[in-house]
Structure 1
Amino acid sequence: MHHEPRDRFDLGLQADLAMMQQPLLTRRRLLRLSLVGITTFLAGCTPMANPVATPTTAPNPTVAPTTAPAAAAVTAVPTTAPAATIAPTAAPTSVVVAECVDAIPRETAGPFPGNGAQGAALNVLARSGVVRSDIRTSLGSGNTAVGVPLQLELTLVRAGGDCAPLPGYVIYVWHCDAPGRYSMYSPGVEGEDYLRGVQAADTSGKVVFQTIVPGCYAGRWPHIHFEVYPSLEQATGARNVVHTSQLALPEEICRQVYADAQYGNSLRNLGQLSLERDGIFRDGWQTQMATVTGSVNDGFVARLTVGVPGV
């Protein structure tokens, strides 16, 4: 399974103390800088310009670089050869063709959103460290949610039309733990905030979270909640949400996972449910069903392309 690189904010105690003295929005902007940029900012220095290497053989500025190779190609090889040679270098390497999908349905955030809609005390988005890829550990207590590992890969695209990626847009995800409890709300885990986290999409519109397969509690198909925000600076509360939806997990995968005793009554609860009767997914779950690969021993990877309307 793919492992994400070490978090960029692991710069030592002094850097952590300096970071904590910064306002929330400043810390979020710092997380978008490179390692050098973060270190320089915290040290109070002005970044030095990157040195530009001087070529040992400088091209003649009066001659266009592409002119000579093209002329040589025409006289030396058939006319079809230059196209085959030039095409790979001309194609932009940064362009990613996104999967074109319909808009994912708007769904309720449910009773346990933790996004400030129910008051400042229940707003994980305002907590330091919530912008993270591994959401298995609570920010405050350090306690970790146990369960079968799940790598969650979501790709944000503009729904309909060109289905262009949405780099810089933000996803906040949250879900229940193996026994079916929601951190910050359920008895016994009110003081935890694990299985909640925020990330900004990369240039291809993608975010990756390390989490666990959620349990199945009575009355609901196994699912993961998520909200889309326009930027990290605006991902501070429910008032800035662009779109809210839920992701469904395949029954076969869930049955494999729920055979593990740490998932409590999940297997029995699942046996009493169906997608067609679920209060959220019964009106159409095709655009919300994740593609899942992997195994209980090695962990699973869940992927979904999320079509965001109105952006």
Structure 2
Amino acid sequence: MTPIHDRGLAFDLATLTRRRALTLFGGVGIASLTACGTGGGQSTSTTTSTTTSTATTAASTAAAAECGDVIPQETAGPYPGDGSNGPNVLTQSGIVRGDIRTSFGTGSRTAEGVPLRIELTVQNTGSGCAPYAGAAVYLWHCDIDGKYSLYSSGVTSENYLRGVQEADSSGKLAFTSIFPGAYQGRWPHIHFEVYPSLAEATKAGTMITTSQLALPEQICKTVYGTTGYVQSVRNMARTPLSSDMVFSDGHDEQMADVTGDVNAGYTASLTVRV
């Protein structure tokens, strides 16, 4: 029987969420407003209101266009741990943490691997890409063996490599983790969900978006040349970025900027526009 963590492609296809509908349209329809009053004063008021509204809309649209594209919406995959497919770790005490390497609660294991710090900057495109202060991010990924806590054989009682952080006044937040392995059918990646507030995240409430962070090829090859990542070399070679089910149609907004080395560890940075 194939281990659950080796069914990445089939399971992800079954739970795939298409990219946002906005990317399918090239423009925005504008409704025509006609003043219907008989008096000159009413007509002037309507015209002024319409002009102001149009100017405001144009300014907002220009600001959004100037700050860049929103992060593509992607599948959460079969191992979210947010209550949508089995276990819900979001409502458990201890989920709000920066260091996600060790399980909390009844779990006890600590994930091993090359150190990785994940730094995200959340921006609000509706406000000209201003920092989204107070937004919360739930982030999770597989371990060095390509297994997901809560789901994969041998680690169903663990919840490591999962955590929630709140963005500061600059929209920034960070997690201390390990470099994820590559499992069959997927390019190396990290999952995350963005919520409007910490309170909304920790009750598994309404999220703003779900997406994934991609890791650069050369960095992956370097990491996978170290002890413990042997199977990742083979798995990554079988699914290049160009044919990955999530990133093959574009990954410009999802490819992390990674710096560091295998001895001191790496830092993966990404701006998340929502």
User: TM-score, structure 2 length as denominator?
Assistant: 0.73
Q: Does residue 103 of the first structure (1) align with residue 103 of the second (2)?
A: no
Counterpart Cα distance in 2 of 1:215 and 1:160: 35
**1:39-50 aligned within 5 A:** none
**1:116-155 aligned within 5 A:** 116-119=83-86, 122-139=87-104, 140-155=106-121
Cross-structure match for 2:248: 282
Cross-structure match for 2:178: 212
Whether the 8 Å contact between 1:116 and 1:237 is mirrored in structure 2 is: no
SS at match of 1:266: helix
Q: Pairwise CA RMSD of aligned residues?
A: 1.4
Instruction: Report deviation, 1:261.
Output: 2.9
Counterpart Cα distance in 2 of 1:236 and 1:196: 13
SS at match of 1:198: strand
Counterpart Cα distance in 2 of 1:226 and 1:142: 23
Whether the 8 Å contact between 2:71 and 2:211 is mirrored in structure 1 is: yes
Instruction: Report deviation, 1:118.
Output: 2.5
Cross-structure match for 2:53: none
Counterpart Cα distance in 1 of 2:72 and 2:159: 27
Counterpart Cα distance in 1 of 2:76 and 2:260: 28
Whether the 8 Å contact between 1:226 and 1:246 is mirrored in structure 2 is: yes
Instruction: Report deviation, 1:232.
Output: 1.2
Cross-structure match for 2:167: 201
Instruction: Report deviation, 1:236.
Output: 3.0
Q: Which moved more, 1:256-265 or 1:158-167?
A: 158-167
Cross-structure match for 1:114: 81
Whether the 8 Å contact between 1:170 and 1:198 is mirrored in structure 2 is: yes
Cross-structure match for 1:293: 259
**1:22-37 aligned within 5 A:** none
Instruction: Report deviation, 1:233.
Output: 1.1
Instruction: Report deviation, 1:141.
Output: 2.3
SS at match of 1:282: coil
Deviations 1:52-95 (A, max 9, x none): xxxxxxxxxxxxxxxxxxxxxxxxxxxxxxxxxxxxxxxxxxxx
Counterpart Cα distance in 1 of 2:188 and 2:148: 13
SS at match of 1:301: strand
Instruction: Report deviation, 1:142.
Output: 2.6
Cross-structure match for 2:211: 245
Instruction: Report deviation, 1:264.
Output: 3.5
Counterpart Cα distance in 2 of 1:108 and 1:251: 22
SS at match of 2:228: helix
Deviations 1:286-307 (A, max 9, x none): 1100000000011000000001
SS at match of 1:128: coil
Report the residue type matching 1:109 in the other structure.
A
Whether the 8 Å contact between 1:117 and 1:238 is mirrored in structure 2 is: no
Cross-structure match for 2:151: 185
Instruction: Report deviation, 1:238.
Output: 4.6
Instruction: Report deviation, 1:149.
Output: 0.2
Cross-structure match for 1:260: 226
Q: Does residue 167 of the first structure (1) align with residue 114 of the second (2)?
A: no
SS at match of 1:281: coil
% same residue = 58
SS at match of 1:234: helix
Aligned pairs, number: 208
Whether the 8 Å contact between 2:90 and 2:204 is mirrored in structure 1 is: no
Whether the 8 Å contact between 1:108 and 1:245 is mirrored in structure 2 is: yes
Structure number, greater radius of gyration: 1
Runs of 4+ in 1 over 6 A off after TM superposition: none
Counterpart Cα distance in 2 of 1:111 and 1:202: 30
Instruction: Report deviation, 1:239.
Output: 4.2
Report the residue type matching 1:206 in the other structure.
K
User: TM-score, structure 1 length as denominator?
Assistant: 0.65
Deviations 1:214-238 (A, max 9, x none): 0000110000000001111111355
Q: What are the ranges of 5 or more consecutive residues in structure 1 without an aligned counterpart?
A: 1-98
Whether the 8 Å contact between 2:79 and 2:85 is mirrored in structure 1 is: no
